[in-house]
Amino acid sequence: MSDKKQLTTTSGNPIGDNQNSLSAGARGPLMVQDYQLIEKLAHQNRERIPERAVHAKGWGAFGTLTITNDITQYSKAKVFSEVGKKTDMVARFSTVAGEAGAADAERDVRGFSLKFYTDEGNWDLVGNNTPVFFVRDAYKFPDFIHTQKRHPKTNLRSSTAKWDFWSQSPESMHQVTILMSDRGLPTDVRHINGYGSHTYSLINAEGERVWCKFHFKTQQGHKHYTDEEAEQAIAKSRETTQEDLFGAIEKGDFPKWNVFIQVMTQVQSETFEHDPFDITKVWPHADYPLIEVGVMELNRNPQNYFAEVENAAYSPSNIVPGISWSPDKMLQARVFSYADAHRYRLGTHYEHLPVNRPKSQVNHYHKDGSMRFFDNFHENPDAYYEPNSFNGPVEDKQYVEPPFPVTGDGYRYNHRENNDDFVQPRALFNLFDDGQKERLFGNIGRAMDGVPDEIVERQLALFDKVDPAYGAGVRKALGR
């Protein structure tokens, strides 16, 4: 409409495309010249202090990863070097939308973040209890998170904002279906799966790269609340997940997860029916079966929550030789965004806080800055730049990764064009039994209470595209 204002950058420059990031080819990787993307992500990281901008409410514990199967054909990472090898780690689970004081038993995605203190430095895996996500282009991530936070006028969470965004983002259908299903409201975090969600890569000793997804299957089984049960739980305690995790570990009932990977070769990726780097899609297990890796166990509670959980900083930028990234656009943006969020929230040298400090040797040339509470080149004051002639740390070419193919023109590719965002939600919907479907319909109906008809109808049209029975079931729940 003519009365709409022109969207601009913070310096007033008009924006022509606010939907798609700049990438080299339709499958990425992203281009650092995309100032609009960097600005959106950097600004989002600075919107709230001092708690995390997202995943503010969290619960954590320490444990170990034990390797039970040889996967060295895929990765040279020392964490996988031999069967029986144990690596210390710390986990943090969380909700996405709620503030630090929010109730635990809310319908929300659960963050599933892991830091492994390996012999080659820290390896962080930042994922969720779902294998997919709401958006596939990081350019839309700040917009999505805004819909989960409080309305600027009412200071209340807005169902209208959530459904307005989802109804105009068909790529969200897979995650929305999971969120509104039984698994969208777990009783605790011992009874959930975890997923790296993104596509990563593994590199073996011969320099061969394969694409990979990480899976953590709970040994405790799955437990979920209905909406009514969650209301009753919150009425009794807002800290149900903290109580469950802390209490279980304290009495020696250590939660465990079986760890698996899926592997896809470069050749397979070129003929896969979807973009293999699209975080709104899964890889079918029949075609890319789960490969056993090991067992993760949590067996020690933090001694001080603030120092060991609140100060814990996870970022997919932390990788080790043999584990790396992929052209996944969301992953590439998070490599920047998560570390930047920690620099803002905790300080310049956040990775030297005890819970984040690697157990391997650390040598770098980052000088000065706030929180420089460790050696600041006073032991070797001449070696504060690189290259130098004073025995400072040096690079080692053996750790340079092999190349991966990149093709295409730099452009803001429309990620919704020629992309079937309904086939996988349809397959998921058809896996539900009648009881699960009825609860799904009811959960959505209650979550849409008070949402304007125009938005509801737009969302119902998306449900219809997944399966006419999906749309019909939600209409019935809404009394339409």
pLDDT tens column, 91-127? 999 999 999 999 999 999 999 999 999 999 999 999 9
Of 55, 191, 198, 342, the active-site residue reads 55
Could you read off the pLDDT of 31-76 as tens digits, one per residue? Answer: 888 878 888 888 788 776 578 889 989 999 999 999 999 999 999 9
Widest CA span in the chain: 77
Residue 2 has what pLDDT?
60
How far, in Å, CA of 345 to CA of 44, rounded? Answer: 12
Residue 32 has what pLDDT?
83
CA distances (Å), 217 to each of 60, 221, 480, in order? 18, 9, 39
- Dihedral angle, C-alpha 370, 371, 375, 377, nearest 10 °: 0
Q: 180, 166 in Cβ contact below 8 A?
A: no
Its sign, for the CA torsion 448, 449, 451, 456, is positive
Q: Which amino acid is at 476?
A: K
Q: Domains plus CATH for the chain?
A: 22-357 (2.40.180.10), 422-480 (1.20.1370.60)
How far, in Å, CA of 80 to CA of 86, rounded? Answer: 9
Buried b (16+ CB within 10 A) or exposed e, 448-458: beebeeebbee
Of 20, 45, 122, 128, the active-site residue reads 128
CA-based nearest residue to 134, from 261, 281, 267, 235: 281
How far, in Å, CA of 328 to CA of 196, rounded? Answer: 12
Tens of each residue's pLDDT in the chain, 480 residues: 467 888 777 667 778 888 899 899 999 898 888 878 888 888 788 776 578 889 989 999 999 999 999 999 999 999 999 999 999 999 999 999 999 999 999 999 999 999 999 999 999 999 999 999 999 999 999 999 999 999 999 999 999 999 999 999 999 999 999 999 999 999 999 999 999 999 999 999 999 999 999 999 999 999 999 999 999 999 999 999 999 999 999 999 999 999 999 999 999 999 999 999 999 999 999 999 999 999 999 999 999 998 999 999 999 999 999 999 999 999 999 999 999 999 999 988 888 899 999 998 888 888 888 778 888 888 888 888 888 899 888 888 888 899 988 889 999 999 999 999 999 999 999 999 999 999 999 999 999 999 999 999 999 999 999 999 999 999 999 998
CA distances (Å), 345 to each of 45, 177, 229, 340, 456, in order? 8, 33, 35, 9, 37
Could you read off the pLDDT of 346-387 as tens digits, one per residue? Answer: 988 888 899 999 998 888 888 888 778 888 888 888 888 888
Token digits of residue 18: 């606010």
In which residue are the tokens 């600041």 written?
Answer: 376
Residue 341 has what pLDDT?
92
Q: 227, 185 in Cβ contact below 8 A?
A: yes
Q: Which amino acid is at 401?
A: E
CA-based nearest residue to 213, from 199, 226, 227, 192: 199
Residue 48 has what pLDDT?
60
Backbone angles phi, psi at 461, to 5 degrees: -65, -35
Token digits of residue 244: 């469950």
Residue 43 designated active-site: no
How far, in Å, CA of 473 to CA of 450, rounded? Answer: 18
How far, in Å, CA of 194 to CA of 127, rounded? Answer: 7
How far, in Å, CA of 28 to CA of 48, rounded? Answer: 30
Residue 187 has what pLDDT?
98
How far, in Å, CA of 376 to CA of 386, rounded? Answer: 15
Alpha helices in 384-452 (DSSP H): 423-431, 434-447
Residue 49 has what pLDDT?
52
Residue 352 designated active-site: no
Residue 163 has what pLDDT?
98
Give the orientation angle of helix 434-447 with respect to helix 227-236, to 10 degrees: 60
Query: What single string gives the DSSP state of each residue in 5-42?
Result: PPPB-TTS-B-S-SS--EEESTT--B-TT-HHHHHHHH
What's the pTM value of the predicted model, to 2 decimals? 0.91
Q: 93, 309 in Cβ contact below 8 A?
A: no
